[in-house]
Structure 1
Amino acid sequence: MSKAVETGGIESTSGATESEPKAKAKSKPKKPKAEREAKVKTEPTPKPEPTPKPEPTPKPEPTAKPEPAPDAEALPKGAPAPNTEPAPVNAEPAVGTEAALTPRTGGVRLSRPVFILASVVLVLALAASVTFAVLLGLRAATDRASAQALATARAYAVTVTSYDYQHLDQNFNDVLDGATGEFKDQYSGASATLKQLIVSAQATAKGTVRDAGVASATRDQVQVVAFVDQSITNAANPAPRQDRNRVTMTLVKIDGRWLVTKLELV
């Protein structure tokens, strides 16, 4: 038994001694500590990437605190309690706010008073335009009447102040042809007496209009003042005598003709 143990012990010891050199042969010699530390220091340590800063969270806006309802006890006696019910969503707008709440659709929306005022101004402008046009037409018609009546009066002043005792019938007929109304009646009544005087005196007369103008005028009636020189001869005075007369005539338009209805010889 002791030998076996011893033998076994020797074998185990010899086995251990044989494996030692192999282990030593395989293991490399260790480097000095200073060399290892220098190698560690030379390798740069990678810097960690900076982490992005988190964005600040916006602070929530403070909500308005609802006003506390007034205390019923603090209200004076007899005062109505305030209406704390919310206004209905579809409530009708107050009077006068219709124009402010009306949406604009494509153009300028005028309020009712402004629209009424603009309409009144437009109507007045149209009325003024129509009135001006009417007045302008009346003025033009009056101017035409004045020109026509003035030309007639100038010619008639020569007719009524010119005569020849040898052609009295023709002279009197010309005067009556251009007369009407009051003057025609007067001249017709005095024509017989005038004929006798002119024939007995063997008188002649020739009228010449020096100047004439319109005193007043409408579309149907015009008053003309004419200054007439009248050259008169007769058997007793064969040399011409010059008379200067002012003739005022009122003419009216009848059936497209201007006729003398009044005549005054001064």
Structure 2
Amino acid sequence: MTAPTSGYIEVSPDPDKPRDDESRPVDEAAPAEGNKPKRQLPPVSLLIGAGLGALLLIAAIASAVFFYLRYDEKNQILDANESARQAACAYGTVLGNYDYQNLDKYFAGVLDGAAGDFKKDFNDTSKDFKDVLTQGQVKTSTNDVQCAIKSGDKDHAEAIVVVGQTITSLGTQNQPQPTQISMVMSMDNVDGRWLTDKLSSPLLKPQ
């Protein structure tokens, strides 16, 4: 008697055909799930080096800014001193030229470049000075002015001024005589203009 069959026919696998689980090649380089490599952090020495580099860069920038500001400030002072020197020379020329026959113009020019104590003192003594110049028939002309800044900054300067003059008066028997006057001017920068607020000179003592 033959045993009953189950209704299923067992088919033997074709040895030449790969199985489904063998049809895809295994990527040996692909990490298995749950075994992924951890993210590598840069070495501590690298982090320290980067930090030091940033600090050095900041220090270099700060140093450059500091020296630039110092350089700029120094240039501003030099420019201010030169402006004060030129103003002192111009004012020395004004002070050194006067004519007893036209003193009002002279006094106006002197007061225009004066400030502070010198302006007040000159204005207070101008009448007496005018009388002396008129009585002595004094005339002067400036032929040379030398100026130098003794000390100064952007707002104040001490100037040394040497004025070479030719003077004519009754005291010189109306003959032109060379003379020289040295002055020390204390100058202030007032609204961008250098004015003389103190002056030490024998200028107000005409021959």
Relative to the length of structure 1, the TM-score reads 0.55
Structural mapping, 1:1-266, within 5 Å? 103-104=41-42, 109-111=46-48, 117-236=52-171, 237-265=173-201
Structure 1 residue ranges without an equivalent (≥5): 1-101
Contact kept, 8 Å, 2:111 with 2:123, in 1: the verdict is yes
SS at match of 2:170: coil
1:235 is displaced (CA, Å) by 2.9
Q: Which has the higher strand share?
A: 2
Greater C-alpha radius of gyration: 1
Query: What is the percent sequence identity of the aligned residues?
Result: 28
Contact kept, 8 Å, 2:187 with 2:196, in 1: the verdict is yes
RMSD: 2.4
SS at match of 1:239: coil
Q: Deviations over 1:79-103 (max 9, x none)?
A: xxxxxxxxxxxxxxxxxxxxxxx73
1:117 is displaced (CA, Å) by 4.7
Contact kept, 8 Å, 1:209 with 1:226, in 2: the verdict is no
Relative to the length of structure 2, the TM-score reads 0.70
1:217 is displaced (CA, Å) by 2.3
1:161 is displaced (CA, Å) by 1.8
Distance in 2 (CA, whole Å) between partners of 1:204 and 1:125 is: 63
1:145 is displaced (CA, Å) by 1.2
Distance in 1 (CA, whole Å) between partners of 2:182 and 2:62 is: 44
Counterpart code for 2:88: A
Q: How many correspondences in the alignment?
A: 162
Correspondence for 2:31:
none
Distance in 1 (CA, whole Å) between partners of 2:78 and 2:125 is: 35
Counterpart code for 2:129: L
Distance in 1 (CA, whole Å) between partners of 2:63 and 2:144 is: 43
Counterpart code for 1:215: K
